[in-house]
Structure 1
Amino acid sequence: MIFSDPASVAVVGASDDPAKWGHWLARGALAGSSRRAVHLVNHGGGSVLSQPTVRSLSELPSAPELVVLAVPAAHVPAVVDEALAVGVRGFVGITSGIDDRVIGRIRSAGARMLGPNCLGVFDAATSLHLAWGQFQPGSLGVVSQSGQVGLEIAGLAAASGIGVSRFVSVGSQVDVTAAEALLDLVSHDMTTVVGIYLESFGPGIVTAMSELRAAGKPVVLLTVGSSTAAQEAALSHTGALTSPLDVVDAACRRAGAVRVATPAALADLAAVLSSGPPRGARVGVVSDSGGQGAIAADLAVAAGLTVPALSAVDGLPVGVSSRNPIDLAGAGEQDLVNYSRVVEVLVRGGEVDTVVLSGYFGSYGEDTPSLEVSEVAVASRICALARETGVPVVVHSMRPDSAAVRALRAGGVPVQHTIERAVAALGDAARFGALDQRSVGAPTGQELSVLPGRIEAGGPPGGDACVSLPTTAAPYRPGYLAARELLGFVRFPRAHVVTSAAEAKATTLTGPYALKADWLAHKSEHGGVKINVTDPAAAFEEMRARLGPGTYVLEEMDTRENTVELIIGAKRDHSFGPVILVGAGGIHAELFRDTAIELAPVTPATAREMLARLVSAPLLSGWRGAPEPDVTALAQVIAQISETLVARPDLAEIELNPVRVGPDGVLAVDALIIPSGDTLNDTSGRRVA
């Protein structure tokens, strides 16, 4: 409870100057003085905000549980040493530029620090306000790496009517991590939905998001795409085909979270989710304007929602059809209650999962004051219907802030001033219903190297991995033949090493042949592969003359008909650990960029779902009457590749490209493995690191 409900706090650097951090922090701290002891420290003495101060922590009768550092960086070491000497266990580091040696002293003493370079912490449930800015209490928990972005999210949440339950600006995360701050929200009763802004992802983030989802608290992630999957040069196609946000989205699917692109989208979605995610993607559109209803319907479809036709239903006002979108056609003006009547028909009818009300509602009381009471009553009824049925209702009103709009927001019904924001939020909310629930627990790899605990003094405990795979094996030596040997569960064409033209000529393999330079990563780009070879001796002499001595492989060509070429790649992401990729393969893999990515390991069932997401998926189901490829065997290979990278920390990447799958099974035609810490020279095959 040290960072959420401390028994006592001290603001070091408290100030009477409203332009200084120390003023805001002192004012916020004093707001919770009925719950905890608050001490203001100013080296010059005197009073701050009409409250007495002390010149140093040593003047206090007992050690405060939490100290806020709002002094210049040069003064922080002395303050920290004094604080540790009197027994302080927690620090909020507002100041930037705090020396690593200071952090080391805090850790050595068994104390904790939030920050430094952070905006602070706020908890509505415990009246803790140790941050810059104002916060409206509510149900959204905010954990942000950027204090300013977090403050923007909090402001948007206030405007949307949901407010903030807890706000944690983690700053530089030299000690307390974002994962710990998130885990602390699992048992935070006031928090019903969580918004996250992160620029980088440390260990434990997926685990924390998974625990929040399991606790019934939807997680919305905003990021700038800082996974390192695509930020380092890699010789494999896999490295070129993964983008930062691809991997982040895979992490979100594993954890049951949804990623958005802007702070406004985060707040809009959080407002919809505050009472729970919708059950599906079917939306009923109600409007008092045919044009606005049609626009809403088009936007809904573009957002991934469906606007289903409705069966004949009872209870609609006279003259209003059950066609979706429903046009009130003047019935609203005749009787405002008709708005809630139509909403009730939809939320109780079982044919839609969400409802959008678009148009003039919310404006009646503003334009005709005598109608305000009636309009507010209808708004309250709409809120009650959404709560009773669990069917989310989102309102688009032409008035951004009227009595009826305020009543809707106060009752838990989100209101937007533009229809695009209203529908986009519902589209994002519907994604929660479609999230992949295949995984039990967190992924393996770096994500599980540390599983932080709740934010308490003494540091985070460790955690357990979700799978147990063998990790002992002989060191891998680069090359195609070595890859074939390591991936013994994969079927490859018959092949053997050739060292001379005579050996190539005497082969017992069945032609046509493929001749390969064993050491090259991208064989086709460097002339290291010849296919449809009929004279293996001549082909060997020509290739050896160009590429020089090395290991050459003669291989039978795959001449099967009705095959589909794919790429299967596994790569170790620095933020999330092993990831698995499948996509359209061959030499044009990077051109088409038709891929699906998940965190590893995956099950064969998940692998099949990955295949189904590909644009080229119809080729795997008998396109234009062709025999169906063996997708079951393909999914098994994908799963085994993912497990192999998880089990082998000495490997950085595994790639099969192309993989040819036909009705009679899977055949990998080339393979590349890159050891961890190694970079392959693409023309010589020799390791350079």
Structure 2
Amino acid sequence: MGRLSALFDPESVGVVGATDREGSVGRAILENLQETYDGEIVPVNPSREQVLGLECYSTVTAAPAIDLAVLVVPPDIVLEVLDDLGETDTRAVVVVTAGFAESGEEGATREQRLCERAERYGLEIVGPNSLGVMSTANGLNATFGPDSPREGSISFLSQSGAFVTAVLEWADEQRIGFHHVVSLGNKADLDETDFLREWGDDPGTDVIIGYLEGIDDGTAFLETAREVTEDTPIVLVKAGRTDAGAQAASSHTGAIAGSERAYETGLEQAGVIRAHSVQELFDFARALSGLPEPDTDGVAVVTNAGGPGVLATDAVGDSRLEMASLSAQTTDRLADVLPEEATRYNPVDVIGDANADRFGDALETVLEDDAVGAAIVVSAPTAVLGYDRLAETIIEKHEDYGKPIVACLMGGERARAAEQVLRGFGVPNFFDPTRAVAGLEALTRYREIRERTIDEPTTFDVDRERAQKVLSRAERYSDNRVGVESMELLEAYGIPTPASEVVSDPDRASEVARAIEGDVVMKIVSPDVSHKSDIGGVRVGVSDDEVASAYEDIVARVRTYQPDATILGVQIQELVEMEDSTETIVGMNRDPQFGPLVVFGLGGIFVETLEDTAVRVAPIGESEARDMIDEIQASPLLRGARGREPAHIDAITETIQRLSQLVVDFPSILELDVNPLVVAPEGVQAIDLSLTVDTDRLEGDEP
């Protein structure tokens, strides 16, 4: 274990607030420790001399050395105990006590003071409002839950203590074991990232699973999870999915990259496998903790039952896996070892009178085929088939071939007995073929996570000082939103823009238009007008001699529709040729947990109706930028579908990266839309811009 070893491998545990009062939390924790823990137990309570047969101490400073302190005292006493612990060698603390940030303003203040003491004394604190911690390595059950877990290789963290107790009881019935368990509580000090880091280096942990309602520091979580998943898979249930973040956002990008999309993107980039139910959570964990990774996505199904075999085949078709195409050599050999009535193609039906030996012959034959990366054994009970013998056969082939095998031995007590045998050798059994396929798919997903390449983001040569000056203009506006008058921001970061200028009178408009070759585009510049074209605030293809009158017409129309709008002028912009071009969007919304979320997709008027976008957490490297382009449904259009000349993919890739660098460099940018970003065979052009700036952060953006 690492820096949190005292939490899970303490030589002594002190229970502060220990009592023998029936029905009390202090008694429940002490009883749990006495039942299984093999270290020293130190009760602390100034009102007791002895608790449950153990000598009790008045204070932690009067007690023998305590590695792990579990606090079950009133909330207003917790801080006093932490002050006392600061005088001892104790460094690990679990605060079971509630009444902190979850209880209102007074509790939030108390929790802040708890955090200050954690830092002052170098304490590692779980909670407050925590169920406690467990470790089967040494029988530690420092919780007030009703059950101790079975021993296993799964380490489990949860933001909900109630979820822990429910899951442990269910897992015991399913004969699923754990290595470490922690109830995070309010996460005032230690959070999910700390435990990922700790368990990622723990040889006793094969899989990390968890239930989370939120992630406090998305950036730290993402960086840590990426490192951990190189060796240890992480599977999480993320609860509290909501579109509230999208509803609150004011830009196109904000609407696209709402709260749930942020978590979906962040977890994906972190290499976390996301489960959507408790059943999935443990189905994935069982497969990942006991089976090797498949070399290929090809799956062979061996079954004695046509219907369940078809269900398994359908489930494979609905997944990222595929039914393996068996070689002629394999099918010929299957013809030799199976009855004539059997099916020698995938799925392989050994028919209803098959015994375990016939299953074994068929399974061995398909596993020898290079196209088969994994196998599913699907069986219905029959009078001629002994499930105990079939389980032994599956284990034998599992060990001989080193390829993942999952079982789907359907039935009741007979199947449960066989399942117990299989689980002892790391082979999971599922009643439902669909769950068996999902377990294999989790293995494939983890293989892809381990194989993926994450390149370092390119650092472009940019003009940060120029960008800073542009952003500072937001202080002039009451809502801190700026638009096309700040196109210079993009130019400072090397993002191509058409020639343009914002003017404030018709004569200057004509002068600027004459300096631009060809017709121009004219747009109202106002922080109060979001959809300029809807109210006549945009004119396209205006000739030199029409510019002055067009200027007056645009301003008059906007005045008519929005009399209170602040008008800063009209932008005169070079007309971009749209033939063979596609309108896209590239933008950013700053998520409270994960930071800048960069969006790329189909833009223009279709951005919110078609919702064809890809999202990544910045900073973004070249490979991730290219993945974003490939991910959208319109990608074939950009790559030259149906005879179109392909767009300049390298230019799009670079633009995504440059915008990523911009929003990382300037935390003051809360939202940003470049819509449209016109992409063509020759390159890209940013046509329109809007952004929201947190002016309070501008000083921190200084180059």
Q: TM-score range by the shorter chain?
A: 0.7 to 0.9
The structure 2 residue matched to 1:278, chosen from 258, 277, 294, is 294
The structure 2 residue matched to 1:321, chosen from 335, 339, 343, is 343
Q: 1:102 to 1:237 in 2, by over 3 A?
A: closer
How is 1:110-189 mapped onto 2 (pairs within 5 angstroms)? 110-131=122-143, 132=145, 133-155=147-169, 157-189=171-203
* Corresponding position: 1:305 with 2:316: no
Q: In the TM superposition, what is the alpha-carbon distance from 1:335 to its structure 2 partner?
A: 2.4
Amino acid at match of 2:440: L
Q: In the TM superposition, what is the alpha-carbon distance from 1:266 to its structure 2 partner?
A: 0.9
Match in the other structure for 2:701: none
* Corresponding position: 1:391 with 2:403: yes
Q: Secondary structure at the match of 1:6?
A: coil
The CA deviation string for residues 386-408 of structure 1, in whole angstroms up to 9 with x for no partner, is 34434222222223553211111
Q: 1:17 to 1:297 in 2, by over 3 A?
A: farther
For CA contacts below 8 A with separation 6 or more, give which structure has more relative contact order: 1
Q: In the TM superposition, what is the alpha-carbon distance from 1:233 to its structure 2 partner?
A: 2.8
The structure 1 residue matched to 2:509, chosen from 489, 495, 504, is 504
The CA deviation string for residues 386-432 of structure 1, in whole angstroms up to 9 with x for no partner, is 34434222222223553211111121111112222222232333222
Q: 1:530 to 1:433 in 2, by over 3 A?
A: farther
How is 1:356-435 mapped onto 2 (pairs within 5 angstroms)? 356-360=376-380, 363=381, 375-401=387-413, 402-435=416-449
How is 1:27-176 mapped onto 2 (pairs within 5 angstroms)? 27-31=31-35, 33-34=37-38, 36-42=39-45, 44-45=47-48, 48-49=51-52, 51-58=53-60, 60-98=62-100, 99-100=110-111, 101-131=113-143, 132=145, 133-155=147-169, 157-176=171-190
The structure 2 residue matched to 1:642, chosen from 655, 660, 682, is 660
In 2, the alpha carbon distance for the partners of 1:27 and 1:440 equals 51
Match in the other structure for 2:485: 481
Query: Quick check: which one's helix share is greater?
Result: 2
Say whether the 8 Å CA contact 1:228–1:573 is kept in structure 2: no
In 2, the alpha carbon distance for the partners of 1:543 and 1:675 equals 27
Match in the other structure for 2:587: 569
In 1, the alpha carbon distance for the partners of 2:609 and 2:537 equals 21
How is 1:196-211 mapped onto 2 (pairs within 5 angstroms)? 196-203=210-217, 204-211=220-227
Q: 1:62 to 1:14 in 2, by over 3 A?
A: closer
Deviates more, 1:113-122 or 1:491-500: 491-500
Q: 1:234 to 1:530 in 2, by over 3 A?
A: farther
Q: 1:400 to 1:594 in 2, by over 3 A?
A: farther
Q: In the TM superposition, what is the alpha-carbon distance from 1:43 to its structure 2 partner?
A: 5.1
Q: Secondary structure at the match of 2:498?
A: coil
Match in the other structure for 1:253: 268
Q: In the TM superposition, what is the alpha-carbon distance from 1:479 to its structure 2 partner?
A: 3.1
Amino acid at match of 1:108: R
Say whether the 8 Å CA contact 1:32–1:128 is kept in structure 2: yes
Say whether the 8 Å CA contact 2:247–2:255 is kept in structure 1: no
In 1, the alpha carbon distance for the partners of 2:391 and 2:460 equals 51
The structure 2 residue matched to 1:336, chosen from 353, 356, 362, is 356
Q: 1:544 to 1:677 in 2, by over 3 A?
A: same
Amino acid at match of 2:533: S
Say whether the 8 Å CA contact 2:257–2:597 is kept in structure 1: no
Q: 1:638 to 1:227 in 2, by over 3 A?
A: farther
Match in the other structure for 1:544: 555
TM-score by length of 2: 0.84
Q: Secondary structure at the match of 1:415?
A: coil
Match in the other structure for 2:304: 288
Say whether the 8 Å CA contact 1:483–1:673 is kept in structure 2: no
Q: In the TM superposition, what is the alpha-carbon distance from 1:262 to its structure 2 partner?
A: 1.3
In 1, the alpha carbon distance for the partners of 2:165 and 2:405 equals 27
In 1, the alpha carbon distance for the partners of 2:23 and 2:676 equals 63
Amino acid at match of 2:15: V
Deviates more, 1:170-179 or 1:218-227: 218-227
Q: In the TM superposition, what is the alpha-carbon distance from 1:213 to its structure 2 partner?
A: 1.1
Q: In the TM superposition, what is the alpha-carbon distance from 1:321 to its structure 2 partner?
A: 3.3
In 1, the alpha carbon distance for the partners of 2:388 and 2:159 equals 39
The CA deviation string for residues 197-256 of structure 1, in whole angstroms up to 9 with x for no partner, is 221112221122122112x11111211256999357333210011132322232233222
In 1, the alpha carbon distance for the partners of 2:88 and 2:510 equals 84
Match in the other structure for 2:521: 514
* Corresponding position: 1:3 with 2:7: yes
Structure 1: 5+ residue runs without aligned partners? 445-465, 680-689
Q: Secondary structure at the match of 1:3?
A: helix
- Alignment: residue pair count: 644
Q: In the TM superposition, what is the alpha-carbon distance from 1:358 to its structure 2 partner?
A: 1.9
Match in the other structure for 2:477: none
Say whether the 8 Å CA contact 1:161–1:410 is kept in structure 2: no
Amino acid at match of 2:253: T
In 1, the alpha carbon distance for the partners of 2:460 and 2:24 equals 51
Match in the other structure for 1:683: none
The CA deviation string for residues 489-538 of structure 1, in whole angstroms up to 9 with x for no partner, is 12222223333223334422244421112334543345432223343222
In 1, the alpha carbon distance for the partners of 2:9 and 2:51 equals 23
Structure 2: 5+ residue runs without aligned partners? 101-109, 474-481, 560-566, 698-703
In 1, the alpha carbon distance for the partners of 2:374 and 2:23 equals 46
In 1, the alpha carbon distance for the partners of 2:55 and 2:246 equals 50
Amino acid at match of 1:250: T
Say whether the 8 Å CA contact 1:286–1:293 is kept in structure 2: yes
Say whether the 8 Å CA contact 1:470–1:647 is kept in structure 2: no
Say whether the 8 Å CA contact 1:567–1:657 is kept in structure 2: yes
Q: 1:80 to 1:321 in 2, by over 3 A?
A: same
Q: In the TM superposition, what is the alpha-carbon distance from 1:608 to its structure 2 partner?
A: 1.7
Q: In the TM superposition, what is the alpha-carbon distance from 1:22 to its structure 2 partner?
A: 2.6
* Corresponding position: 1:345 with 2:360: no
In 1, the alpha carbon distance for the partners of 2:662 and 2:41 equals 55
Give the fraction of aligned pairs with identical amino acids, expressed as a percent. 29
Say whether the 8 Å CA contact 2:647–2:683 is kept in structure 1: yes
